[in-house]
A and B are shown apart, each in its own frame.
Chain A
Amino acid sequence: MNVIKMSKLTKARYLSSVLSLMIIISSIGIIFSNGFNWGLDFTGGVVTEVRLDSHIKATELSELLAQHSEQEVSVISAGESGRWVLRYSQVDAKSSTDIVSVLAPLSGNVEVLNSSIVGPQIGQELAEQGGLALLVAMLCVLGYLSFRFEWRLASGALLALFHDVVFVLAFFSLMQMEFNLTILAAVLAILGYSLNDSIVIADRIRELLIAKPKMAVDEVCSAAVKATFSRTMVTSGTTLITVAALWGMGGVPLEGFSIAMFLGIMIGTISSISVGTCLPELLKVKAEHYQLAPISQTP
């Protein structure tokens, strides 16, 4: 392969592919070394969000709660002052008792904003269901791709997809942000959107391979990226803008979701250009793979 003859775009694609591969490897490393901060949905336990008088301090809360329960209670501030998230890791008779009466000595003005009690068995089941959903979605998408595209192009889209999912998971693992059901939904949505970009480019590659069978494959890929570039930018742009709006205005419950979506869409755009096009090249995708079968001359 002659490096000098390659266009700038082709070079950029190759370089970013190497970067993407490094991202995949380090992401997997991060996930395995750090693990996840599993949310209540998966671990089971008790989480209560309360609003109290704003002058009450976290230490006062912790002391009071420690007197009532043998297990450790984590007290986390939830944005505004006087708003607290109390988390017990296990469901027992004491943790599920009325929190208003427990906190009564500190403040008579306790408002329970929300509370969730999830039994350990349910948590286990939700985790299994989530894993199953991820697996089934992957398999369905794989089936559709191999039906619609030849396997070389499909594998490019699939590697890009894997890259995006692993990256987002690694981010949550590294930052130790809570991984709950909503984040899982975001990861599954990323699965769909990441493919979106890859498919648009793969479609163009296929079209060019059919239209210009003599063109060098790396040039075909670069041409396809170039032709779809402004579409990629506009669509990613509008989606990122709306997700940013969700991040800014959606409040605490949707924060993790918007962060996951934002990262996923961003990395999905990059990966569809880098690994998404380079892997098919590496696997030697050729114009012959997409030639229409010659129509028989005799009717």
Chain B
Amino acid sequence: MRKQNKATLLNHYSVWKYVLLVVTIIIMLLSALPTFYGEDAAIQVSKEAGLKLDPLMLHQRLISAGIEVKRIDQTMGKTLVVLTDSSQQAQLKSLLVEQVKTPSEVTLTLAPSAPNWLLSLGFSPIKLGLDLRGGVQFLLDVEIDPVYQLHNNTFVEATRQFVRDESLVGITVQPQAGGSVQISASDSRQRQKLRQFIAAQYPHWQVTNSGLNALGVNLSDSEKVNIRDLTVKQNLQIMRSRIEQLGITEALVQRQGEQRIRIELPGVQDPAAAKSVIGATASLAFYQVMQPGALNSKVLDSEKDGPVSVSRRAVLGGEHIVDARAQLGEMGLAEVVIHLDRKGGKIMSGFSRDNIGKPMATSYSEYSRDDKGKISQSTEVISVATIRSQLGDRFSITGVGDYASAQQLALLLRAGSMTAPVTIAEERTIGPSLGEENIANGFSALALGVAFTLLFMGLWYRRLGWIANVALISNMVVLFGLLALIPGAVLTLPGIAGLVLTVGMAVDTNVLIFERIKDKIKEGRSFAHAIERGFDSALSTIVDANFTTMITAIVLYSIGNGPIQGFALTLGLGLLTSMFTGIFASRALVNWVYGRDFRRDVRV
């Protein structure tokens, strides 16, 4: 009686487990499908662009230009032109740019070519890394030192001003190398006053005694971190808006480490254009023109007028510029119309009201890196103009060269001015043909690997082998489905290598189980009992063996970057899915097919 009871429970999975398994695999299959349809190059024209042609006319126009179009979608004013041949993307863009009012709203993009019912379920293809789809990748270094220097200068000037205002005698304020400021004051009452001033006005500066008659002042470490974070964030924002100006929708701009910015531009054919916009760090500033040799003045070079003496502090910096447009002025000269924010407008209108009839200089600064990797800033006065009337938040500057360079300057100003110089520390370009080649190579290796493994398992383990094969195929389906579902998961070439390795290792789970089953049958158990004992005794070994590989996958993912992360991702996910299919799915199958088989002389 007892034995019979045990036998009915042996190798039995309840219905809900089968339902769970089937539903999981179906969802993953649906999620994996769009990837196999691939993506087509496309151009997106947003509603704001103001396309002058309707789809029918556009189609005829494109045919006459020799551009093969797969389809033209128009929804809610947004037009999407999908291409048959991805190499015609640049040609199509330049053609479309002529047909719109706002060229910056015409963007390169990719459109999934899976059928609509699949896409409407919310499934999308796996995102491909740059090494598979082609594109440019930049790693930018944000230089923080010049920003600290700026803070230092402000502090030194303010302290000197305080010393003058309070008529303190015998005090010198000297910036030191390494960012600290030395204030020498022999009188202890004066030192006390200075301490009070600093504590009240500059709470982020730490004051220490430096010798008997001097104070050492340093920017606190927490404030340094704070400044660095703000600077990098601001630069991120600027980079994003600059790339928007380039018209690439699927660009990735993210912070990497303390002071780096990673930019990935998929499908960009011309890295030089991207580089000139990303790498340039231009900013404008407006100065009061002073008498040569006047107090608090500095000398800036200018191409036309020779050295110009200007106030040490700028009236207004480039961070107040909201918008900038190039246009041809009354005299036919190119000029840039500048639109300031409210605060900037107030400062400018106050300054210009007080200085009507006096000259104002506009300077243009650019950071560059020399051969030794040292950052240098070059500032040049581009125009000196007399203020004729009070200026508001909108005015124009001249002396910017021809119309093309005015446009370039306007673009840079519009996208924001850099508070910290940025240099390109790493640049990688993968041509589109190489990307396609990588995909073809990677997937044919995967197909070959899968085919070999299926064949081998089928021949070696016969019927149990086919169960392992079903488990392996469902493993691939679940893995592809997961890669498409997980936000931020990117498939790279090393990632495909990880998939291929997963195929080889995924069968290990089944092999471990089958070998145990063989052992148990040799010990004289019935097939059904051997199955039960085999699965049980192999479990701890399977977990042990997979856990160590999981450790390396996690370490790789957290420390590595880009392609290496792609490898770690498929490796780690592959381990999880192979455990799911190898233990759970294959057990479900075995239970179903052989669970009731109590023969003793079975060969596996």
Residues of A at the B interface (CB closer than 8 Å) are 49, 92-93, 96, 98, 111-122, 129, 132-133, 136-137, 140-141, 144-145, 148, 181-182, 184-185, 188-189, 191-193, 195-196, 199-200, 203-204, 227-228, 230-231, 234-235, 237-243, 245-246, 248-251, 253-254, 257-258, 261
The verdict on B505 contacting chain A, using a C-beta distance below 8 Å, is yes
Minimum CB–CB distance from A17 to chain B (whole Å) comes to 22
Structural contact, B433 and A113, CB atoms closer than 8 A: yes
Structural contact, A249 and B445, CB atoms closer than 8 A: yes
Structural contact, A250 and B544, CB atoms closer than 8 A: no
Please, how many angstroms separate the alpha-carbon atoms of A112 and B268 in the complex? 13
- Chain A residues within 8 Å of B429, by CB: 112, 114-116
Minimum CB–CB distance from A111 to chain B (whole Å) comes to 7
The verdict on B94 contacting chain A, using a C-beta distance below 8 Å, is no
Chain A residue with the shortest CB-CB distance to B541 = A203
The verdict on B601 contacting chain A, using a C-beta distance below 8 Å, is no
The verdict on B77 contacting chain A, using a C-beta distance below 8 Å, is no
Structural contact, A117 and B428, CB atoms closer than 8 A: yes
Assess A121 versus B571: contact at CB under 8 Å? Given A188-B555, A239-B505, A249-B448: no
Minimum CB–CB distance from B163 to chain A (whole Å) comes to 41
B456 contact from A96, A113, A192, A238, Cβ within 8 A? A238
Structural contact, B493 and A133, CB atoms closer than 8 A: no
Minimum CB–CB distance from A244 to chain B (whole Å) comes to 8
Structural contact, B494 and A245, CB atoms closer than 8 A: no
- Chain B residues within 8 Å of A254, by CB: 441-442, 445, 493-494, 497
In order of increasing CB-CB distance, the 7 nearest A-B pairs are A192-B549, A239-B504, A242-B449, A242-B504, A251-B441, A249-B445, A245-B448
The verdict on B425 contacting chain A, using a C-beta distance below 8 Å, is yes
Total A-B residue contacts, Cβ distance less than 8 Å: 210
Please, how many angstroms separate the alpha-carbon atoms of A168 and B412 in the complex? 50
Assess A251 versus B504: contact at CB under 8 Å? Given A119-B425, A132-B559, A192-B549: no
Assess A182 versus B559: contact at CB under 8 Å? Given A203-B541, A231-B515: no
Structural contact, B501 and A185, CB atoms closer than 8 A: no
Chain B residue with the shortest CB-CB distance to A204 = B541
Minimum CB–CB distance from A61 to chain B (whole Å) comes to 18
- Chain B residues within 8 Å of A249, by CB: 441, 444-445, 448
B548 contact from A49, A92, A195, A240, Cβ within 8 A? A195
Contacts of B259-305 to chain A: CB distance below 8 A: 271-272
- Chain A residues within 8 Å of B505, by CB: 193, 196, 235, 239
The verdict on B473 contacting chain A, using a C-beta distance below 8 Å, is no
Assess A144 versus B551: contact at CB under 8 Å? Given A122-B139, A182-B494, A250-B442: yes
- Chain B residues within 8 Å of A49, by CB: 434
Interface membership of chain B positions 73-95, coded 1 if the CB is closer than 8 angstroms to chain A and 0 otherwise: 00000000000000000000000
- Chain B residues within 8 Å of A251, by CB: 437-438, 441
